[in-house]
Each structure stands twice: as C-alpha cells, then as structure tokens.
Amino acid sequence: MYFKIGDKYHGFRLIDEKNVREVNSKVMLFQHEKSGARLFCMENEDDNKVFSITFRTPPKDSTGLPHILEHSVLCGSRKFPVKEPFIELMKGSLNTFLNAFTFGDKTMYPVASRNDKDFENLMDVYLDSVFYPNIYKYPEILKQEGWHYELEEASDELKYKGVVYNEMKGALSSPESVLMRKLQETLLPDTPYGYESGGDPEMIPNLTQKEFLAFHKKYYHPSNSYLFLYGNMDILGRLKFIDGAYLKDFEAISVDSAIPVQKAFDSMRSYEIEYPISFQEDEKDKAYLSLNYAVGLSTEPELYQAMDMLLHILLLNSASPLKKALVGAGLGKEVFGKYDSGILQPVLSIIVKNSDAERKEEFIKVVLETLKKLVRDGLDSRLVEAVVNLKEFEMREADFEPYPKGLIYSMKIMDSWLYDKDPVMHLSYEYIFEKIRGSIKDRYFENLIEKYILNNSHSSILVLKPKKGLLEAKDEETKTKLKNIKAHLTNEQLKELIEQTKELRKWQNTPDTSDKLTLIPMLSIKDIDKTGEVLPQRVKEEAGVKVLAHHMFTNEIVYVNLLFDTTAVPQELLPYIPLLSGILGKVSTENYSFEELSKEIDMYTGGIKFSVQVYGEQNDESIYHPVFSIKGRVLAGKLQRMLELISEIIGKSGFDDVKRIKEIIQESKSKAETKISNDGYAIACKRLLSYFSAEGSYMETITGLTYYRLIADIEKNFEDRIEEIKRNLEKLIGLIFRKDGLVVGVTCEEDDYKSFINCMDLVFKELSSKNLPAVKYSFRTESLNEGLMTQETVQYVAQGYNFIKLGYPYTGKLQVLKTISRYNYLWNRIRVQGGAYGALSGFEKNGNMFMVSYRDPNLKETLKVYDEMHDYLRNFQIDEREMTKYIIGTISRLDLPLTPFAKGERIIENYIRKITTEDLQKEREEILSTSQADMKALADMMFELMKRQSYCVLGNEMKIKENKELFGSLVEVFA
C-alpha cells in the first residue's frame, strides 16, 4: 500500500512518512482530524504486532489517581461489561504482551499478538476500556482498585483496603524503590513529577469518586491520546477499525495537559527521607546517598544518548573512574547510577548504598573532586570508546527479551512525542553515534561533565536513612487515624459501612454471567496450531565436545554459551560456585588488570556473563544437571577476540588482589540484599522447594538464602576467611573448567558457524582434560516451614509439594490448571478479596509444585486459600467456551515468541533436561484436549499436595511473629 503525505485515510491525515533504517521500518505520523487523536505507525516485517494507546495524565497530588484509574478502566466497559476484561484476555487470548503502565506523566495501554484476529480483538477491548469504562456505573470499582473502609462488624477495627493501596504499600516498603521513586520528586517539585503518580498510601484515602471521574473525563479523550501501531499488518484496515469503531464518535477538544518545565534551582537542595529497619538490625552502613542532576530535556536527542553513555563511563564499568573513587574512599559498598530519560527533564543520579548519613558532605566532595580531576586530566579514551561500542551493539541487537520489540519502541517514542516533538527522534541513532565518536577527542564527555554536573545548580542530594521501628510507628499512626474516624461515626454510619463492606464483597463474589462473558471476543480451538514450533537442534561433536548449533538470522551476532558440568564440586563448596561466577571477569588476569579486562569486554563484545544454573530432568526431582555457564554475545567479526578474552578469564584469573575481592564481595552482598527485597517471592519459593526436592535444595544452596548467608558471613569475617576463600576458588577452577561434560551452545547465521569452530580451540586449550567422578550430594529434605522475617510491609506466602512423589504423573493438563488457578481461583481469593498484588503457581515436569502470593497483606488466610483449592476443583463447573479460553491462554504462554538468543537458550535447556520434540508435542496435545472432568480429577492430587503442609513465608516480622504457632522456626533474614 502506498500512502501519500497530505492525503486522508479513514479520517487520518498523513502528516509525515519516512524510512528509518536503524529500526528496519517505514514510519508514518497521522492526525485523526475529527477527534484530534495522533497516531504513529512503524511498519516492518516483525510479526509480533504491537498496539498501544497512551494518555498524558499529569497528577496534581499523590492520591495515585492516574494509577488507580489505570487499574479501573480495565474493570469492564460499554461493549465488554464484565468485571475484568483484562483478566479474560489474559486467560484466553494469544497475546504476547498485555499490560498497562502508569508513569509520572502518562498512562499507557499496550497489547501485542502475532495473530491478526487476536490482535484486533485486543485492540477492541482496550479501546473500549479506555474510552467507555464502567467506572461511571459502578462506584465499587474505585473501592476495589483504589481504597475503601472495611468493617465487617461494629466491634471490629476499621481498616483501609484496596488493590492499589496495598500495591503501593508493598512497592514503597523496599528502600531501593523508595529511593528510585523519590529522585525525580527532589529535582522537579513544582511539576507533576513532584507527586507520587502511583499513590502514597497515606494520601490514597483522600481520593473521591468525583475527582476520579473528572480526571477520566478530562484526560481520556482522543485529543489527549497517542496511538501506536507496530509490525507487519494491514495498516489501512487498522485505521478503518480505529476510526469506525471509536474515533469517529469524538469531536476534537483542547485538553490542557502540557507538562511544565521546572525552573532550575539556584543551588543544590538537600533532602532526607527515612525508611524502616527492624529493632534487631544495626543502623550503621545502611544509608543511601544520592546526588541528582536535572540534565536538559528529553527532546534533545544527542544529549539523551550521550548522558546514557556518560553514566556508563563514570559508574557502570569496572574501570569507571567515579565508581572506583567512591569505592576507594570506602563511602559505600555498592555504587551505581541511574539516568532516567522517560520524563521531560531527565535526571542523572549517582548513588552509593550501605553508607552513613553523616558522610553526605564527604560523598559530595569525592564526587565533585573526582569529576573536576577528570575534566582537567581528561577521561580514559579507551574506556570511552569501549562504552560507545557497547551502546552501539545494544542498539543494533535490540534484544529486549522478554518484551516485544515494538513495546520498547513505543515507550521510546513517547520520550519525545509526549512533549510535542518528533516521535522518530530517538529511533534514528546512527548519525548521533557518528557525531559523538568524532568528538570524543575534542573533550566531548569532559564538556558534558562540566556543563551538566559541575556547573549545574539544578541538583539535589537525597539521603535515605534507616530508622528502627518506623514501620511500627506508621502502622500505629494509621491505626490511630482509623480509630479516630471510627469514634466519630454514628451508629447509623457504622451500619452503613458494614453494609457497604458486605455489598462490595457480594459484588466481587458474583461471577459474570456467561452471556456477558461471551461478549469478550476470542479465537476458537481451530485457530490454534496443533503442532508447536520445532526449534532446530543439531548436536555435533567437535574436538570431543558436544556442540549444539542453531542457525538463524541474528543480524550478524553470535551467541555463545559454554556450559561446564559442576558435578565434581564437593558439597561443602557448592555455595562458592556462585561466588566464583560473581568474581570472574572482575579480577585481574595474567595479561590484564581488571580495569583493562572490563574495557576490553565492552570494547569488543555485547557482554560476557558468568552464572550458575540447574537443569532438572523430567519425572524425577532427584536427577538434575548443575552447570557453570559462560554466555557471550558478539558481532561475528569480533568472535575470535571474545573467545580469547573468555580463555584468558578462565585460564589466567588470579585471586591474590584481596582488596579487589573484598570490593566484589561487598557489592555482591548488597545486590543479593536488593534481590531479596525485590523478589521476596522467589526466595520464599526456593526455600519451599528445598523442603522436598533435591533439585530444589541444590538450587536454594546456590541462588537462595543459603548463598546469601554465605556471602554475608564472608563479608563480615573477611580477614579471617580470605585465605580459605582463595583456596576454594582455585580449587573450583580445576574442578569446573574441564572438557569432560562440557556442552557448547552456539546461535548464529550459518556462515559464521565455521569461524566459530575454527577458534574454539582458544577456549579448549585452557581446559583440563581430567575426568572426575560426579559427587553424590545429599540434602536433608524436610518441611521446615520457616517464617523468614524482614521489614517489608507485606508477605510472600509459598506452599507446595512434589506430586510425582505422591504418585501423580506430569501432564500438560497441569499447565491449564496453572492458567486457571492464576486467573481464576488464586486471582479471586488472593488478589481481589485478599488485597495481594497477585499469586502464581507452578507445576514442573519433575513434579515440583508451588503456589506463592506476591505482596500479600495476609498470611494464614492465604494458606487457607491454598488448602481449600481442592474443594474448588471438586466443584469445578465451566462451560465449553470458558474451557477453550483457558486452553488458548495456556498455549499462548507456551508459544511466546523468542529472540534468537532466547531460542538458543531454550534449545540448550531442552537438550540437557532430555525433553524431546515428542514430549513437547504430547504436552501440547494434552493441553488442547483438556476438559472440565480433567480439572475435577486433579482435586485429589491437590488435596494430597496441601495435606503435606509444606510452606514457607517471607515477610513482615510482626505479622510472622503474630502467627508464630504456624512455623517450625522463625528466621531473621538480614541478621
């Protein structure tokens, strides 16, 4: 189809059109004249199509209105009057992405699918939701998603409840996320960015239904919207649909939603915020210090790229001078930075973690003096070049796994389009790289440092300080507030609240009628492929080593994965394997200092990563394959250089630089702590699996709490333990880097395979040819039912067991059960009624099974929900259409499109786990043929699984102590 600038297509006038080579797309900008909507289109070969609609939604307080509205418009609409169309789509569409996001200045609704019909269905539901939501009809929606008073009996305590209320309590309970959310507030206090768009739990109860509706009326109009289409599709057909079904019914209006620019400060402003720690914890070394700068506008494309590079140069490479200076001064254990360019005035932050509030001035001084010195003496040009190369590699690769490419581009274009500038601005980057490269020697980055940091008074210093008992105090405050409110209520009003609580519960518990549910469009089983995609697997033998080669278009990138068998490592050394993975590549080798090594890696490759992995076999949790994995990505022309670097690292790393090792360990410990606060559900789940599975125990030892404990202890007793650590690391090198048991995965274009084989010997020559027997590990598996206590305000409640041990085989039908439990049973009971952010379940091929709640305000109530699941299954009633929906949703999860890198990883995984194409096909057929009776038949299995009473909870200390009779032992996580 040929489009002409100036012509009108279904109400859309084409304003601009061009080819953007860097993203392989023809891009077009349209204006819908009647409604005032804008539409940007990226037409290309990608079959993973993306649509999104975004509204400019600047908040005017911290009640979280934009965020609550984002949740609420997905709770039913004119054409789709069911309670949660979003969930219906999650259950039963072929979406490859479906979500919604609230940012500081915009709210975005993206969908993606590879199936044309499905794609149109998703667009239809999303457009109807944003323009015609049921929020006007049902005040229950704001109550459920935002906040409400809960009172079941007059004698009960009055409580606040609500999905977003709880979500934000959880989100703001980790210090890192508090910090990240506050950075922009400190620099842009007089703009919408000065508010918490997600909602501050203390402010959320100020939101009224009236303001809520007025906000929707004002901002959710086509004239304030930004539509986006991406991929291989019939553009004209899409325009016709959007116009005919929606936009033609709106008249353009003028919406005042422009984002104002914050006036620059005259001098640096200082802020201090507290975050909670427990009474047992030490306040020492627990502060975060952050120095922040407002740097120009996000609509300056060169600056936008250059600042991202500058952050990397200063802080993110092991050779980064500012990072070295800060670590060297002992100011903190972890140093990092952030460049937030998704707002009108981007913010550059320099952050140290595990510091002390009193060292604020010293921190500022070290930063400024280091930067002054760098400006005076010049930056290391090799480091600068390396970072520019790495950034270029990342842009070329555009691997945003697990997100669709189009989704990431849709966000990127908003960084200019939302502020009334050209949406293409940040998509074409080659000319910028060329320009920056040409100016490096003319003090390009030194000038940036001078202008945007040293001479920039629009800056802030933010100190995030630990405070004992803060959580308890805040809780008490809310309780008192609610007590006061209750005390002032008349008997009449109390009755009314009780009535309202009941009404809301009733409304939540009333299922949608099936005639309403049928309004949600869906595919039929015959639209689903009977056979799954077969991934090309070729197992070859090269120089005595197994090589899994996968040839596909990779844009000239070669992905290499070296998987070393670690079964020769004695049990007591297991937690040292992840330690080794954290140290390799970061310490000096015979021929390179660690700084040089780090520069070489960025200069020539897209990254070399070391990690530990465990692959469980099917049907038996006691058989598993632990590996040490080295993953590298590189342009084909630089392959040899990458393999040289890998061989240098595995063959010639030294562990004598004790100071360096200490720095790495401090940083690893700090990162592990962040992981525990961010992924509490994963820690709880791993711990749970270790109660009944050997594979789970191994996994827990190397990536769970056990590993964290080791690293915390090493950090604490470093001087006493360093000799032993060095010895152990040396030992591991000999036990792991052997040719025996090595599996190599390589994903590349056909022509590049030969050159890979030709230089493989570079790595092989460093490997020992010793054959060592596999160690037999023995783990004590028993249900410890621990309560893992932290200062979070929420819980992660995990329960499960192994069904194969109980005599139930694995079947694809369990994947359908997973979909059903996630979007029906667990969703209703744990999220909708319980107020948790969500809950997941897993049924693995080796029989391991778990359910885990996410950011859950409850504890024993959630365990009860798990215990009662068998009842739900026994009474499982569902019509044909609903069942089909769950089957489609299950298949869509299995068929998610993979990037070349991810395909390679999947092939390796299947090979090591001995999963064949036939196994996968059998699983698929089991899924496709699932019936209501199959689900009922799983009730007994679920009953027996839960009867084992194997559970683990990570979360709020007080809450766990209140329920201490439930636990085998109580464990302080950060002791």
**Which residues make up the interface to Zn ion (CB under 5 A)?**
167
Burial status of residue 482 (CB atoms within 10 A of its CB: 0-12, 13-18, 19 or more) = middle
Q: How many whole angstroms separate alpha carbon 868 and alpha carbon 874?
A: 10
What whole-number distance in Å separates Cα of residue 547 and Cα of residue 534? 19
Closest approach of Zn ion to the CB of residue 70, in Å: 7
Q: What is the radius of gyration, based on Cα positions, of the chain? A: 28
List phi, psi (to 5°) of 53: -125, 135
Q: Which residues are catalytic?
A: 70, 145
How far apart, in whole angstroms, are the C-alpha atoms of residue 76 and residue 665?
50
Distances (CA, A) of 410 to 84, 196, 404, 431: 25, 23, 10, 21
Q: Write down the least CB distance from residue 64 to Zn ion, Å.
A: 9
Q: Which helix (H) or strand (E) holds 466?
A: strand 459-468
What is the C-alpha separation between 546 and 913, in angstroms, rounded?
15
How would DSSP label each residue in 848-901? EEEEEEESBS-SHHHHHHHHTHHHHHHT----HHHHHHHHHHHHHHHT----HH
Nearer to Zn ion, 219 or 737 (CB): 219
Of 167 and 752, the one with the shorter C-beta distance to Zn ion is: 167
Chain centroid, CA 262 distance in Å: 30
Cα–Cα distance for residue pair 973/950, rounded to 1 Å: 19
Closest contact distance (angstroms) between CB of 196 and Zn ion is 13
Q: How many residues does the chain have?
A: 975
How far, in Å, are 77, 86, 94, 121, 275 from residue 889 at the CA level?
22, 12, 6, 14, 40
Residue number, 43 or 167, with CB nearest to Zn ion = 167
> Closest CB to Zn ion among 204 and 603?
204
> Among 72, 57, 87, 65, which Cα is nearest to 136's?
72
Please, are residues 745 and 561 in contact by the beta-carbon 8 Å criterion? yes
Residue 232, Cβ density class (10 Å: 0-12 exposed, 13-18 middle, ≥19 buried)? middle
**β-sheet bridge partners, residue 611:** 629
Strand order in the sheet with 848-854: 838-843, 848-854, 795-802, 951-956, 786-790, 969-972
Question: Which amino acid type is present at position 818?
Answer: K
Alpha carbons 878 and 820: distance in angstroms, whole number: 11
Residue 273, H or E segment:
strand 269-277
In whole angstroms, what is the distance from residue 687 CA to residue 953 CA? 9
* Closest to Zn ion by CB, 167 or 243: 167
Between the alpha carbon of residue 480 and those of residues 483, 484, 487, 501, 856, the distances in Å are: 5, 6, 10, 21, 23
Instruction: Fill in the DSSP letter of residue 173.
Output: T
CB 342 within 8 A of CB 259: no
Rounded to a whole number of angstroms, the minimum distance from the CB of residue 411 to Zn ion is: 17
- Secondary structure element (H or E) that encloses residue 292, with its range: strand 287-294
Please identify which residue in the block is written with the tokens 């490419």. 405
